[in-house]
Amino acid sequence: MVKVLIWGSLRSATEGQTEVEVDASNFKELLDQLATLYPGLKPQIERGVSLALDGKIYREAWFAEIGPDSEVVLMPYMTGG
């Protein structure tokens, strides 16, 4: 199981938790698990999310590997100027 930190405005979809646990070994599995366990997260996942893995931000990489001790933070998908 990996712990996933979500951002505050998604708490309404996770029964008020800012940290949820899912069984996932990569970004894709994590997103699928989150959408299954917390259907309220689905609209945001479809709009786009990034993943910070041990401090490094992955914007789209499904197969970014997640270790059991990885720090996993969900972030909105972002662009620049």
Partner 1 sequence: MALDSEKKQVFKVVGTRPARPDGIDKVTGRAMYGADATAPGMLVGRILRSPHAHAIIRSIDTSAAEALKGVKAVVTSADFGAPEDESIRDVQDNCMARGKALYHGHAVAAVAANSAVVASQALKLIKVDYQILPHVTDVDEAMRPGAPVVQADRAFENVAAGFSENVTSQCEFGHGDLEAGFAKADKVIERSFTTAATHQGYIEPHACLASMTPDGKGDLWCCTQGQFHVRTVCAEIMGMDASQLRVTASEIGGGFGGKTTVFIEPVALALSRKSGRPVKIVMTRDEVFKATGPTVSSSMDVKIGMTKDGRITAAQARLRYQAGAFPSETVTYGAQSAFAAYDLKAVETIGWNVLTNRPKEAAYRAPGAPMAIYAVESVVDELCQELSLDPLDVRLKNAADKGTKSSYGPTFEAIGLRATLEAAKAHPHYTAPLGVNQGRGLSCGFWFNFGGNTCVSLNINTDGTVGITEGNPDIGGSRASISQMAAEELGIPYEKVRTIIADTNSLGYNDVTDGSRVTFSVGLATIEAARNAIKVMCGRVAKIWGIDEDAVIWEDGCAKPSGPNAGSFDPMSIEEIAAISANTGGPIAGHFEVNADGAGVSFGVHLADVEVDPETGATKVVRYTVFQDAGKAVHPDYVEGQMQGGAVQGIGWALNEEYIYGKNGLLQNPGFLDYRIPVASDLPDIETVILEIPNPGHPYGVRGVGETPIVPPLAALSNAVSRAIGRRMFELPMSPPKLLKAMSQKR
Binding site residues, partner 1, CB under 8 A: 5, 7-12, 18, 40, 43-44, 47, 52, 54-61, 64, 71, 73-81
Looking at the Cβ atoms of 19 and 23, the one nearer to partner 1 is 19
> Cα–Cα distance between 47 and 55 in angstroms, integer?
22
Give min distance, CB of 56 to partner 1, in A.
Answer: 5
> What is the distance of C-alpha 26 from the center of its chain?
10
Nearest approach, Cβ of residue 23 and partner 1 (Å)? 21
Phi and psi, residue 14, nearest 5°:
-125, 35
